[in-house]
Amino acid sequence: MESTSDKEWYERGNEYRSQQDWQHAIECYMRAEQLNPDGPAKFARQMTEEIVAFYCRDYYNP
């Protein structure tokens, strides 16, 4: 079984974010954060959550 690194989860999150698939982006960033709490995914997740909260509260909290 192949292990996915925090960098790979972060990059997946970036791909989802570029497609405006906010929920999947946040999930990927959270997985990256679990592997590397000091990595860039923490800021990316916070930023994405702020975007979602500003634009679409119902989508963020179904």
Is pLDDT of 12 > 50?
yes
From 62, 56, 39, select the one nearest 14 (Cα to Cα). Answer: 39
CATH of 6-56, one of 1.25.40.10, 3.10.129.10, 3.30.2350.10, 1.10.3720.10: 1.25.40.10
Identify which of 8-12, 49-53, 58-62 has the greatest average pLDDT: 8-12
Distances (CA, A) of 26 to 1, 11, 15, 31, 48: 24, 12, 11, 9, 7
**Residue pLDDT, tens place only, 21-55:** 999 999 999 999 999 999 999 999 999 999 888 87
CA distances from 28 to 22, 52 (A): 10, 15
Nearest residue to 52 (alpha-carbon basis) of 39, 61, 42, 40 = 61
Q: Where are the domains of the chain?
A: 6-56
Tokens representing residue 29 in the block: 């960033």
pLDDT band at 58 (very low <50, low <70, confident <90, very high): low
pLDDT at 54: 80
